[in-house]
C-alpha cells in the first residue's frame, strides 16, 4: 500500500464535462455511477478520456453515513 | 432528490471502532469495503450497529481520480 | 436522526450563480449569509430556486475555529 | 478580508471533548449548536476553553444543501 | 495562534485563472507550486493579484500521505 | 501523472501520535512542518515510521488562501 487514502472504487469513465478551472467526471462502477470534481489541469495532465479504467479515491474522513429506511 | 450530495453507495455495516470523539465504520459494498470516519456522537444518535443497511455519502468535490495501470 | 452529518443550518436561498459544472448558492440564515458550492447537476435535480427553504449541511471534520479578538 | 474562507459563524464554546489527537468543540450560535473536530494540538495552542467567543470557519466547497420538506 | 488550521505554507501568487464561480490560484513556494481552488468572490474581496505574498491554509484532516519509492 | 491530486509536498516523517482510529503525522518539509491526520489502519498498512520519506497529498479544492500582512 503506497498511500493513506483508504477508499478506492474502480470503474470506467463515462462522461467528462469541462470548464476552464474544474471538470466533472462520471465513472461507472459496480455500485452505480460516481461523480468526481477535479481540476481541468489534472484532466489534461492525466490525458483522461471516456472509456479509461480509473479508481475513485476518497479519504475516510470525507465519508458520511445515512441509515436506509430512515426519514 | 432531497440533498445535493451526489455520491451514495449502499452497503452493510461490518465493523465499528469507536473512540471518545470519532468512530471508524467499515461498510461492505458491491465495490468492496468502504471506510468512513464520523463522530461517535453520530454513531450513538443514529443507533448505528453491525448489520445495518446504510449508504456512504460523498460530496463530488471530495473525490479524486487515479488512472489504473499508471505508476 | 437519519445521517451522520452533525451541522444543519436552516435558511432561505437568496442567490444562485451557475456555471456548467458547479454553482454557488447563497443562503440567508440567522447567523448571516452562507455560501455553498455544489454541482449544477444537483441544482437541476433538486430544482433548487431562489426563495426555497433549505439547510446547509457541514461535516464536523470540515469546520475550523478562529478565536475572536485575536490577531 | 484576509482569507478566502467564506463562511464564518460566530458563537460561544459550550463543550470541549478531547482525545490525544482530535477534539470535538460544540459552539452555541444563533443558528443552533455547531460541532467542529480540530486537532487537540490546536486546542492547546489556541488555549481554547469553555466560554470563549469564537467563529466556526467553513470553506464553501464543503457545504452541501438539503431541501426542507423533502423526503 | 488565532485559528485552528495547522498547515500554513507561505508563497507568492504566480497565476490566477477565474471562472464565474471558482478560481484556481497557483502559488510558488519553497516546496514547489501549490494549487488552490477558491471562490471568485473571495478573489475579488481579497483583491488578490499576481505577485501577492500569501499563505496556503490546509486543515490537517485534509492531508493524505504517500510513501516515496512505493508503487 | 497517475492521479488527480495536484499538491504533493515531499518531506520526512518526524512524529507519529496514534489513537485507536486516527493518527497525527508531523512531516518536516522545506516549507516547515506539516500535520496530517490519517487512519491508524493506514499507518499500519503503510508500515509508516519516523524517518520515512513521504509526500503530503492535498486536493486543490481543500486549500484556502490567506493574504499576508492583512489583519
Distances (CA, A) of F20 to F13, F35, F42: 20, 18, 12
pLDDT reading at A20 higher than 50? yes
Identify from D20, D43, D60, D64 which residue to disrupt to test chain F contact, counting F C-beta atoms within 10 A and taking the largest count.
D20
Mean pLDDT of the region D40-67: 97
Paired with A38 in beta bridges are A23
Picking from E4, E16, E23, E53 by the largest number of D CB atoms within 10 A of its own CB, the best residue to mutate is E4
Least confident of A13-22, B61-70, E29-38: B61-70
Does position A71 have pLDDT exceeding 50, yes or no?
no
pTM tops 0.90, yes or no = yes
> Which pLDDT belongs to residue E31?
94
State the pLDDT at residue E68.
83
Q: Do E41 and C35 touch (CB under 8 A)?
A: yes
Does the ipTM surpass 0.90? yes
Evaluated on CA atoms B33, B39, B44, B45, the torsion sign reads negative
Per-residue pLDDT for D54 more than 60? yes
Contact F15, F35 (CB under 8 A): no
pLDDT at C1: 61
Cross-chain CB nearest to D69 (options C53, C66, C68): C53
Q: What is the DSSP string of E16-36?
A: EEE-SSEEEEEEEETTEEEEE
Structure confidence by residue, pLDDT tens digits, E25-47:
999 999 999 999 999 999 999 99
Confidence (pLDDT) at F68: 83
Confidence of residue B71 (pLDDT cuts 50, 70, 90): very low
Under the banding of pLDDT at 50, 70 and 90, the label for residue E1 is: low
The minimal CB distance from B24 to the residues A59, A60, A64 is found for A60
pLDDT tens, position by position, C21-50: 999 999 999 999 999 999 999 999 999 999
Rounded CA-CA distance A69/D17 in Å is: 31
Interchain proximity D63–C31, CB inside 8 Å: no
Q: What is the pLDDT of residues B41-59, one digit of tens each?
A: 999 999 999 999 999 999 9
Chain-centroid distance, C-alpha E59 = 12
**pLDDT tens-place string over residues F11-45:** 999 999 999 999 999 999 999 999 999 999 999 99
CA distance C26 to B2: 18
Amino acid at each position: 500500500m503506497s498511500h493513506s487514502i483508504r477508499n478506492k472504487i474502480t470503474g470506467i469513465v463515462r462522461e467528462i464535462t469541462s470548464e476552464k478551472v474544474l471538470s466533472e467526471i462520471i465513472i461507472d462502477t459496480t455500485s452505480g455511477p460516481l461523480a468526481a470534481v477535479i481540476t481541468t489541469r489534472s484532466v489534461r495532465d492525466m490525458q483522461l478520456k471516456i472509456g479509461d479504467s480509473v479508481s475513485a479515491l476518497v479519504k475516510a474522513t470525507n465519508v458520511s453515513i445515512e441509515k436506509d429506511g430512515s426519514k
